[in-house]
Each structure stands twice: as C-alpha cells, then as structure tokens.
Amino acid sequence: MTRAGSLLLLVSLSAPLCPAQSPAGEFQEATIVAVKQSQERTKGDDPQSYVVTLRLAEKHYDVLYTPPSGSNRVTFAKGQAILVKVGTKNIAFRDIMGRLVEMPILKTVDNPQTHQP
C-alpha cells in the first residue's frame, strides 16, 4: 500500500471517532427567520435579550437569547442556518467556543405560513 493510500485509510477510519461530531438525530438544522429586541429588561446593566424566531421543519420557535455582554451579532443573523437541539422547554446550540447555550422556548407555531415574527 502506498503512503498516500495508508494515510487516506487512516483518516477515513478515524473520522467517525472525532469527539466534535454529534450522534445522528441529536442536532438539526434551523434557519433564523427573525430577530427582535426583547421588551423584558429588568435592570439597566443587564445585557440586551433578543426574541429569535427559528424555522425548523414545519414549525417556528420563538426563543429568548441573551448574547455575551456587549455583543449584538445576533441582530445580523437573519437567514443564517444553525444546528440546534430541541428539548421540551429549551432549544440549545453550540457557540463558537463549542459551549452548549440553551434558550427558553417562548412560543411554538405549527403552521409557519400564518406566523408573523
């Protein structure tokens, strides 16, 4: 076997063992369809929260997202696809550092055609 062939075999066998990969069915692709500032601010020094509408299959989910202090990147995220894990009360995603971030589900709409984010 050539050196290139053995390297290819090694890479193809080790790929399923990578810890960064999620088990099948755990995370699903969702699209951010709307981002609005949340009206619920408790203190002046609390970070701004946003109501983010996610489209996933035949549902829309409104979730409450509070970004790291000083960040407003979510306001420019409309149309982006992200991988999410849907729970009963929360939706989770992995941030750029790989940490799991959970967002409470505020509302679920089964028919997205009638939902106005």
> What is the spatial distance between Cα 39 and Cα 53, in angstroms, rounded to a whole number?
15
| Within-domain flag for 62 | yes
| Within-domain flag for 14 | no
| Within-domain flag for 7 | no
| Within-domain flag for 29 | yes
Buried b (16+ CB within 10 A) or exposed e, 91-116: bbbbeeeeeebebebeeebeebeebe
Q: What is the pLDDT of residue 115?
A: 52
| Within-domain flag for 88 | yes
Residue % of the chain over a pLDDT of 70: 67
In angstroms, the Cα distances linking 103 to 10, 11, 12, 14, 67 are 39, 36, 35, 33, 10
pTM to 2 decimal places: 0.69
Structural domain including 77 reads 22-114
- Binned at pLDDT 50, 70 and 90, residue 52 comes out as very high
> What is the spatial distance between Cα 92 and Cα 27, in angstroms, rounded to a whole number?
9
Q: How large is the average pLDDT for residues 56-83?
A: 88
Q: What is the pLDDT of residue 43?
A: 59
**pLDDT, tens digit, for every residue of 86-104?**
999 999 999 889 999 999 9
Q: How large is the average pLDDT for residues 69-93?
A: 89
Residue 114 has pLDDT above 90, yes or no: no
- In CATH, what number is assigned to the domain containing residue 105? 2.40.50
| Within-domain flag for 1 | no
Write down the residue that tokens 């409450």 correspond to.
Answer: 64
How many domains, the chain?
1
| Within-domain flag for 27 | yes
| Within-domain flag for 6 | no
